[in-house]
Structure 1
Amino acid sequence: MKFSEVDEASWQELQPYFDTCLIPYTGLTGMENPMQATAALERLRDFMDLVEIPFKGRMITYPAFQYGLQQDLSLFNEICRNVKGTGFKHVVVMSADCMLREEELPEADLILSRLAMNEQEGKELTAAVQAKIQNLWNPAHLTQM
Structure 2
Amino acid sequence: MLWNSQEVEVFLKERDYIDTAIVPLLPVSLDKEMKQAASQGEFMSMLTVVLEKQFKGRMMLLPAYTYMNVEEGEENQLRLQKWTNELKAQGFKHVFCLTSDSSWKEREQNINAEVIWLPTVPLEHMDEPYKRTIIEDQVKQLVTTIVQKWQIV
TM value normalised by structure 1 = 0.75
CA contact (8 A) 1:102 1:111 kept: no
State the alpha-carbon separation in 2 of the partners of residues 33 and 116 from structure 1.
14
The residue identity in structure 2 corresponding to 1:52 is E
Question: As a proportion of its length, which structure holds more helix?
Answer: 2
Structure 2 unaligned blocks of 5 or more:
122-133
What is the deviation of 1:36?
Answer: 6.0
Gaps of 5+ in 1: none
Assess, with a 3 A threshold, how the Cα gap between structure 1 residues 93 and 108 changes in structure 2: closer, same or farther.
farther
Task: Please give the alpha-carbon distance, in whole angstroms, between the structure 2 residues aligned to 1:135 and 1:113.
Answer: 15
Q: Cα gap change, 1:3/1:124 in structure 2, threshold over 3 Å: closer, same or farther?
A: closer
Partner of 1:103: 107
The answer to whether residue 143 in structure 2 is matched with residue 130 in structure 1 is yes
Query: Is the aligned partner of 1:78 residue 2:91?
Result: no
**Equivalent position of 1:23 in the other structure:** 23
For 2:8, the aligned partner's letter is V
Distance 1:131 1:108, change over 3 A: farther
* Residue type at the aligned position of 2:95: V
Indicate if the aligned counterparts of 1:29 and 1:68 stay in contact, CA closer than 8 A. yes
Whole-angstrom distance in 2 between the partners of 1:125 and 1:136: 17
Give the whole-Å Cα distance in 2 for the aligned partners of 1:41 and 1:48: 10
Give the CA RMSD over aligned residues: 3.0
**2:128 counterpart residue number:** none
Kept in 2: contact 1:27–1:67 (CA 8 A):
yes
Q: Does 1:51 align with 2:43?
A: no
Q: Which runs of 4+ in 1 moved over 4 A?
A: 32-38, 121-124
Deviations 1:9-29 (A, max 9, x none): x44430011100111111223
Name the CA distance, whole Å, in 2 between partners of 1:11 and 1:122.
26
Provide the aligned length of Structure 1 versus Structure 2.
135
Identity across matched positions, percent: 22
3-state secondary structure, aligned to 2:54: coil
Question: Is the contact made by 1:24 and 1:93 (CA closer than 8 Å) also made in structure 2?
Answer: yes
1:6 aligns with 2:8: yes
Deviations 1:92-141 (A, max 9, x none): 1112x311215345344322221299xxx666533321111101221xx1
